[in-house]
Structure 1
Amino acid sequence: MPTWSSVVVATPAHSGLGPALSYRSELSLAPGTLVRVPLGTREVLGVVWNGPDEPPPGLDPAQAKSVIGALEGLPPLSATWQQLVTFAARYYQRSLGEVALAALPPQLRELDAVQLARRLKRRAGKAAPAGRDGSAAPAVPPSSEEQAAVLAALPTATEPVLLYGATGSGKTEVYLRATDDALAQTAPEGEPPTQVLVMVPEINLTPQLEARFRERFAPRYGEGAVVSMHSGMTPAQRLGSWLAAHSGQARIVLGTRMAVFASMPGLRLIVVDEEHDPSYKSQDGARYSARDLAVYRAKVESEALAPRGQRCQVILGSATPSLESWHAADQGRYRRLEMPARIGGGALPRLRLVDMNHQPKGASIAPPLLAAMEARIARGEQCLVLLNRRGYAPVLSCDACAWKSQCPHCSAFRVFHKLDRTLRCHHCGFSSRVPRSCPDCGNLDIAPVGRGTEQIEEQLAGLLSDVKRPDGQTARVARMDADTTRLKGSLEQQLAALHSGEVDVLVGTQMVAKGHDFRRITLVASINADAALFASDYRAPERLFALLMQAAGRAGRDAAQSGASEMWVQTWHPEHALFASLRKYDFPGFAATQLAEREAAGMPPFGAQALLRADARTQEAAQAFLNAAAEAAASLPYRDEVTLYPAVPLTIQRVANVERAQLLVESASRAALQRFLAAWQPLLLDGRSVPGARGLLRFAVDVDPLVI
């Protein structure tokens, strides 16, 4: 006799179809089963959310559609995974199916049962042995006193752990040993083997971390025990990693924010490295925070494991924790464990502030900094130059008529890239050749304004052309940014060249400032640190302090050279309070000051925020929708506990010919804000028909936004 199942499919919140659809099935399907179902004229992947059920009231059984078939060979997704997805959809105001299906590998949504069976058969033939493979285990370095103290405290920590450790203090070794302890736990008979999830903020940090985990654990658990998950992988690779994690074959999953949704039935430990990094907050689709979901997932997994006397632990690690995590530790909700000393007793680099008011006019690199770099290169040491702006110059300009390289599709300038002589918009991707003369007045004298990594690389190559290395060769300058690491394998090649000593000076964006273990770098320089000092974003000082602290941590990681390492910062405002804290590497003092300011202003973490964003053909339509939505919310529950601000354009209000506006919602109570947003959703769907908002393309709610 046919049964009924509730199935979630990838339908956006504005579709109005509800959280799940009802289908008939000839078989009783367990919750979490992956199935193929009809949706309109298409056949799509779905997840059974509830087991056998009664037909929904008002549904004519004769018109009901049936499940086409289940994806055989795949165990159902766990109840804890479903709970995580349900929470993420509710908290971040998205549809259940939108989050659930986005969490699955894209290729899985395209395969039918026969194709999947072939994949599973091939995987079974290639499966590595689950136990020891006979290889000799690598030598494990001895723990420092601080590492030993942290590792001894981890088993007793029942709350999330905030591992506050200086750069170079050995946090990665703590992750490795905590992973070893977690994998050593014996799973009950019939249960999947224990697993560990390790998250990093960016793709470029995955290869080196994966190499360390493979070196430590592959000899014992097999090569297939460590897999990666990130958007830089091919669809087939992502599917392979997901299947390995879902089946329990993969014992360790390394990934970026998407990995927080990985199906891992034996999960016992979650590590979030560089937990402060804004890359953990998604800016597309369901705008979730992977760090916050990792904390929630550990809680859910622990509740499920409690009857067996087990739990899932989460470790948030950083040298510059987010102020939200720091405040949670101050309140006792997180347990803070500290490792303030570097391995081997090395010291953090000495800070040198260069007052640009006293340097030659127009100098990109101050003469004292250049002299210090020359001395380092002559001794065979390496330098790192940080400039968080790629390209040759941010804009090309005409002095005669004030023409600038404005993007025709965005309210932003196209960036001048000298190597390929193009003007490129970094927002919509529009690119064109550099004009021979000003398009408006014909003036031949058009010039770049501002500096990017390309220009600094070129200037340093010229300034250091006479400097010799100890082997008598000329100093070599390289650049690492999103342009130079675009091709597959290019990042690994550049890192290998730096580690081998082929490169003397590395110029890069923020991607070189975090997570890397550069043993030969003894001087780090930030040449444009002032851009964030007076930004309108209240999080800008926190981001700048973290970036400079992380960049400083790349220098002097070899204890034998650490005493001579330096961090140079070029600034027009050397008296700024941020630099006073940076000089002492006093993150606790900086955090206390910032938290006091935020508390006075009612900003997070002392208040909750959400943004309602609208994209439309015109700015008027976008703001009309937002203002109508605000008016419609007047009678909603909890309206008196939230503040709705007027609609305003985004800082970059037009991207790819789409106008963008936003409306800020604030509340002193997170619970009140959540209840208000849930009640607001149906009105937002109705607001699409507002007469002045006919040109509305889409809207989205961003809970806990990082950029306002």
Structure 2
Amino acid sequence: MLTGCRQDTPGATAAEHSTRADAGGQLPDSSRSPPPRVLRVAVPTPLRRLFDYRPCREAPPGGWQPGIRVRVPFGRRQMVAIVMECRDDSDLALADLKPVDAWLDAAPLPEDWFWLCRFTARYYQHPLGDTLHQALPVLLRQGRSLAGRIREQWLVTPSGQAVDAARLKRAPRQAELLTMLRQHPHGLPTQAVLAQSFTREQLQSLVGKGLVERQEAPLTAAGLPASGNLLAEPALPLNREQAAALAAIHERLDAFHPCLLHGVTGSGKTEVYLQLIEAVVDRGRQALLLVPEIGLTPQTLARFRQRFRVPVVALHSGLTDNERLDAWEAVASGRAPIVIGTRSAIFTPLARPGVIIVDEEHDGSFKQHEGLRYHARDLAVARAHHHGIPLVLGSATPSLESLHHASRGDYRHLRLTRRASRHAPARLELVDLRGRPRQGGLIPPVIEAIRETLDAGHQVLVFINRRGFAPTLACHACGWLADCDHCDARMTLHRQPPMLACHHCDKRRPVPDACPACGSADLRPLGSGTERTEETLAALFPQVPVHRIDRDSTRRRDAFETVLNDVRRGGPCLLVGTQMLAKGHHLPHVTLVVVVNADSGLYASDFRALEHSAQLLVQVAGRAGRSSHPGRVLVQTLHDDDPHLRLLAQQGYDALAEHLLAERRAAGLPPFRFLALLRLESPREEAALALAAGAASALREWLKERELRVDCLGPVPAPMERRQNRYHLQLMLASDRRSQLHEACSRLTTWMEATPGARRARWSLDIDPQTLG
């Protein structure tokens, strides 16, 4: 995490570094300066450099300034680029420079967005042009105007309000239309009028008579309601802990104030968010709330829109390109005071920033694992410091990095230990799997507990973090396993539809009738996935609805929310799902949670595996007993005597986190050291090995010359060495000083870009990696 750690400039923290008035901070006002002779632009390419162009003949109305999008010739293509500098000279002769084809913006892109992109590119050692490109909505990348779409609407004029509709008896449909419009004093959009079987000609006739007028308005309405009352429904009363946490955040609403809101599941963190945002919006500021998954967005949006009478916009991958641009522009212009979004929403410009909230801050979904490998939580820290506004990181299972910062005093640690309901959080009960028969992964005592819960009229959540019918297919005669031809992985057996699928490269093939190795027809599924568990439960409890929730069953739009709405209505039912169900969902009628197998993540090679597994177990356990009945959590395991698992079950996540932090300190691992990972891949194993060895040798020699305290470890094969018919290796850099780590990373990328062999391979640099896979 960035805050409290040293940056790429010695002696500076990331937050301090983020406030400097460098080239990425303040945009100079060049409207009164002589026209520049050279524009340095960032083009969306992997090249880590800017490109010089001559200005086109016509300048933007405000003059040439950094932050203006332009269309430029680049090779044989035309590309949308962004002006970064306006200069009078170039390393090339001015006559050799190509002119810009056209400017696309009359004014620069928002200043806070421009600063954040430059900071991101610098910190994550990523090409600036590609960073800017990724941070823009798709339509802006393609050259669309920044202006949001306009909605046509119709309002009754004062004359139309006063006229007697009976005067229109010769035009009865016009009279009906006028009557309908009178019922909507703020106007009706054209689509709503036409949906009532009225026509545009009838509207125009009323306009001609002076009874109706046409107006144009942005799709997102203006910010504050005319009455000044923000709330559509009253806020809920806070308990003593919630009130104390809210008061602590309120103490410094006009300054950078990072807070870790550490509350058990069901403790009412969202109500604290709502009342904090109410205070921020009432001061004329904007609030940005980040949630980890798109599945949480509809639920959170509904709750916020129900509470507030101001626009609440969403930003996530499920929107169309037009919807995303409309939301982006509404927030950038200040018309939308509240924005809720997933990871990429951190790049939304705010006209009047007031607070940034990261819900479930521990969640791995906030880390981008391809291309620009940023962490939205860490960028939220830097951005809040830059704006001088409060930052709230909320979680029932905070990341070890956040707990470490709270223990050092970098973050204010606010605790919510009580649930909103009268019941304490359910404890984990470890159930030994060894030597017991299983049906769909479930043993008889657990099946009996499910039966008792359903008979009592309650709901059961069965958690199995593996989709498909079974992890693989095996021959009982010769031991053949269904391996993927392209990866070092098994193919998963699916029943709906029947197939073998690799979840790493998406390779699919039909289920064989006989063993390809020995010809035996005795092929058996090994292990259980969500489909197999669903099938077993449907057979055991035929009178009870079984809902499966995983990536396969929720591909259709709104499918996830439709199932959850059915579940929330009550009545006995069974939920079978993956980690999609573990994150923040309120399921008031679930009183029993069953974890089919807790061992899959406990013994992985990644040093963060135990932390992530513990967080997932606690989060899924938090779905039980959130309403009027106490909850119970049964965790099936083959290692019920594991000391870490026992510590989690008996003393809770906080005790385990403290133990893991002590282990990390002793081992010299984050958050006590800083890591970067160079990932290499090539279709030829020898080429990948030679390139990785050359990079490691060159870097070690350079580190020795500079006497930097940076360890260079590897190269070693990735945990899955062959994936998609490409060989993956990695080189790890570790240091006690973040500034020296960044210096070494910069040297490594320079070497890679200058090495011909690197151009025939794929490589990327991951700063602060969250996984080693």
2:368 paired residue among 282, 291, 302: 282
SS at match of 1:532: coil
RMSD: 2.1
What letter is aligned with 2:263?
Answer: G
SS at match of 1:239: helix
Which whole-Å CA distance do the structure 1 matches of 2:622 and 2:549 have between them? 18
Cα-to-partner distance string for 1:390-431 (whole Å, 9 max, x where unaligned): 000111111333322111222212110012111111111111
Asked if the contact 2:42/2:129 (under 8 Å) is kept, the reply is: yes
Deviates more, 1:612-621 or 1:575-584: 575-584
What letter is aligned with 1:672?
Answer: Q
Unmatched tracts of structure 1, length 5 or more: 187-193, 303-311, 466-473
2:241 paired residue among 134, 146, 163: 146
Which whole-Å CA distance do the structure 1 matches of 2:734 and 2:741 have between them? 7
Which whole-Å CA distance do the structure 2 matches of 1:195 and 1:20 have between them? 36
Aligned residue in 2 for 1:68: 101
Aligned residue in 1 for 2:115: 83
Asked if the contact 2:148/2:218 (under 8 Å) is kept, the reply is: no
Aligned residue in 1 for 2:83: 48
Which whole-Å CA distance do the structure 1 matches of 2:221 and 2:354 have between them? 22
Asked if the contact 2:676/2:767 (under 8 Å) is kept, the reply is: yes
How much does 1:88 deviate? 1.2
Cα-to-partner distance string for 1:443-465 (whole Å, 9 max, x where unaligned): 11111111101111111111223
Which whole-Å CA distance do the structure 1 matches of 2:133 and 2:398 have between them? 31
Aligned residue in 2 for 1:31: 66
Deviates more, 1:670-679 or 1:228-237: 228-237
Q: Does 1:571 align with 2:637?
A: yes
Aligned residue in 2 for 1:622: 688
Which whole-Å CA distance do the structure 1 matches of 2:450 and 2:513 have between them? 36
Aligned residue in 2 for 1:534: 603
SS at match of 1:47: strand
Sequence identity percentage: 41
Deviates more, 1:643-652 or 1:350-359: 350-359
Cα-to-partner distance string for 1:247-289 (whole Å, 9 max, x where unaligned): 2222211111111111222221111000001111110001111
Asked if the contact 1:295/1:314 (under 8 Å) is kept, the reply is: yes
How much does 1:324 deviate? 0.4
Aligned residue in 2 for 1:462: 539
Q: 1:605 to 1:409 in 2, by over 3 A?
A: same
TM-score normalised over the length of structure 1: 0.90
Asked if the contact 1:636/1:680 (under 8 Å) is kept, the reply is: no
After TM superposition, the structure 1 = structure 2 runs for residues 255-274 of structure 1, keeping only pairs within 5 Å, are 255-274=341-360
Aligned residue in 2 for 1:470: none
How much does 1:120 deviate? 5.8
Aligned residue in 2 for 1:333: 410
Q: Does 1:669 align with 2:720?
A: no
1:360 paired residue among 427, 430, 437: 437
Which whole-Å CA distance do the structure 1 matches of 2:51 and 2:245 have between them? 45
Asked if the contact 1:24/1:64 (under 8 Å) is kept, the reply is: no
Cα-to-partner distance string for 1:346-366 (whole Å, 9 max, x where unaligned): 211143221122633677212
How much does 1:315 deviate? 0.5
Cα-to-partner distance string for 1:299-349 (whole Å, 9 max, x where unaligned): 1111xxxxxxxxx21100000000001001101111111111101332111
Asked if the contact 2:549/2:576 (under 8 Å) is kept, the reply is: yes
Aligned residue in 2 for 1:370: 447
Aligned residue in 2 for 1:468: none
1:520 paired residue among 579, 585, 589: 589
Which whole-Å CA distance do the structure 1 matches of 2:218 and 2:382 have between them? 36
Asked if the contact 1:549/1:585 (under 8 Å) is kept, the reply is: no
Deviates more, 1:32-41 or 1:442-451: 32-41
Asked if the contact 1:99/1:286 (under 8 Å) is kept, the reply is: yes
Instruction: Point out the structure with max Rg over C-alpha.
Output: 2
Asked if the contact 1:244/1:250 (under 8 Å) is kept, the reply is: yes
SS at match of 2:750: helix
Asked if the contact 2:682/2:726 (under 8 Å) is kept, the reply is: yes
TM-score normalised over the length of structure 2: 0.83
Q: 1:520 to 1:44 in 2, by over 3 A?
A: same
May I ask how many residue pairs the two structures share in their alignment?
Answer: 664
Which whole-Å CA distance do the structure 1 matches of 2:723 and 2:437 have between them? 38
Aligned residue in 2 for 1:657: 725
Q: 1:424 to 1:363 in 2, by over 3 A?
A: closer
What letter is aligned with 2:731?
Answer: L
1:580 paired residue among 622, 635, 646: 646
Deviates more, 1:603-612 or 1:350-359: 350-359
Aligned residue in 2 for 1:196: 287
Q: Does 1:103 align with 2:135?
A: yes
2:275 paired residue among 161, 177, 185: 177
How much does 1:22 deviate? 4.3
Asked if the contact 1:354/1:366 (under 8 Å) is kept, the reply is: no
Unmatched tracts of structure 2, length 5 or more: 1-33, 153-215
After TM superposition, the structure 1 = structure 2 runs for residues 489-638 of structure 1, keeping only pairs within 5 Å, are 489-501=558-570, 504-558=573-627, 560-562=628-630, 565-636=631-702, 638=706
What letter is aligned with 1:11?
Answer: T
Aligned residue in 2 for 1:403: 480
Q: 1:206 to 1:585 in 2, by over 3 A?
A: farther
What letter is aligned with 2:222?
Answer: P
What letter is aligned with 2:292?
Answer: P
Which whole-Å CA distance do the structure 1 matches of 2:220 and 2:366 have between them? 32
Deviates more, 1:577-586 or 1:267-276: 577-586
Which whole-Å CA distance do the structure 2 matches of 1:118 and 1:339 have between them? 41
Asked if the contact 1:228/1:254 (under 8 Å) is kept, the reply is: yes
Which whole-Å CA distance do the structure 1 matches of 2:607 and 2:640 have between them? 20
Asked if the contact 2:148/2:330 (under 8 Å) is kept, the reply is: no
Q: Does 1:232 align with 2:264?
A: no
1:429 paired residue among 506, 509, 522: 506
SS at match of 2:732: strand
Which whole-Å CA distance do the structure 2 matches of 1:681 and 1:410 have between them? 28
SS at match of 2:295: helix
SS at match of 1:99: helix
